[in-house]
Structure 1
Amino acid sequence: MNDSIPQFALYGEGRWLDNPDFVHIEDIAARSSGLGWHIKAHQHTQLTQILLLNSGSVQLQMDSEKRFLEGCWAILIPPGTVHSFRFAPNTDGRVLSIADSLLERDYLNAAFIQTPDCIQLNSEPEEFQHLWQLLTLLEHEFHQVKPLKNSLIEHLLKAILVYIERHHSGVRNSYQTPDDMVLQRLKLLVSQHLKEHWKLSDYALALNVSEKTLSRLVQKAYGKSVLQLTHEHLLREAKRNLIYTQKSVEEIAYDLGFKDPGYFSRFFKRAEQLTPAQYRRSLDA
């Protein structure tokens, strides 16, 4: 573990994206085979990734969830998700990386990719082959220098996202109502102001809605209060730090905006029935 979680544009590349329309595609082997098929824990804060496995297997960790996947899968990794991979040698697949700003465009409308997901496609070989062919075409075009290259890549990307959305566990109607947009903006504000421990009134003011309206929208969409939503995000960040860094519990508490490490420990124990130290020890059990 390190003192902090590495953040990359692409794994191993320290620079941030300087192209707001950035799209990148490569074989899994291109980056992982030279690293013993092991990609260590890291995160992308401006990038969404879709991994499509064609054959082989992977031991995957996304935040605190561990999975073993074999065969045909699509893996969704939203920005900010801490993830690591240990692929079986010669695993065949592709990694599609898309700038977050590009996914916010109306014509792509990919707001559905907001939570990590693993989509099993072994039982739908025809659907998988169509999706694989689309990625093959996108990869071919990615390496070409031809007229209308960007336009074709955008259309292929849209088709890929449609196939993914069909099978995504969180799929919703692609039309966004004003309420949907408020909720989407709320999630962004929660991420931006998490360590400031904003209250319901702060979010309502920033979103230009009443506290009552915001509470109703969040309760209807997620079955929880705004406070519970922010606490879930705080808990996820706490777990990321306990799993992937060597920071002390006190350092993590202060980093997350808690003025009292004791209160942070009580907050964590209420949610997990373990203190932060006990949770960290349980990872090695």
Structure 2
Amino acid sequence: MSGTLSLTPEKWQNCCVHLLCLRWGEPTKSGRSMECSPDELTAWYLESGQVEVRTSRRNFTAETGQWLFLPNGYRRQEFSADARLFSLAFRVFWLDSLRPALDLRPGLIVPQLGELEKAMNRIREQEGHPEEFEWHFRGITCDLSKVLEIKTWFLSWLAASIPVWRESLPDLDSSSEVDPRVVEARRWLEEQSEMLPVLDFEGAADRVNLSLGHLNKLFFEFYHQSLCGYHEQRRIRYARRQLLRPEVRIKEVAYEMGFVDLSKFSNWFKRLEQVSPREFRGKSFLRQRDNKS
């Protein structure tokens, strides 16, 4: 659909907004030059340097003083040596159908904007103006007031960003409605084990009486990813949960998920999560320790 989606406040309560990561400073060591396929939306403000990004649909070069907004899915990113950035990873989706509520495809670059700059300055001041800062939705513990403090700031940033996106992306808004055949196919996927590295998606196609090619096209239209991509995201969520259990060895998680080679598991995890399993576990445990101290 095209144009602004207008619903009652009651119906908007079904729209979930999750900030997954907020950080500023230099790019992470692993994220400076890599290929990845994140499930979330991304926003980067380049405070210095530049970044080159190649996606399946478009190439971008963002420079100092520019915002780069990216959809979920494959990308190849390369930051310059002097790059510093303000970065957000987030999801906006409908709770009943799990359909993305915002469509940032194919992505866009915009110059520094007054309202977004004010939002950046507010969160920096709120956190005491550190040179480096990192807040994660996963792997930390904090009280409710801190969660609400971060979420309140993020909602104000998002409210300032949406009008900017609408200027360039007329199909930004998506309703919660999903083709019933796609809903049934998603149910079929949810019935499959996350530990299976490969699925025969013909089973999903047979259930809804569509060819696999037609079903995959419909699924991508509503969920912005393929059947295979959706299954991979279920698997990566399971892997994250297992890696957060200190008694479970990384090698055990890899074997449980069908990888006979630990390096292949590490490469797969890094492509989807932007860090290796060891880095993910180490950072998560470090954040937990810091929050307890």
TM-score by length of structure 2 reads 0.46
TM-score by length of structure 1 reads 0.47
Q: Which has the higher contact order (CA 8 A, sep 6+)?
A: 2
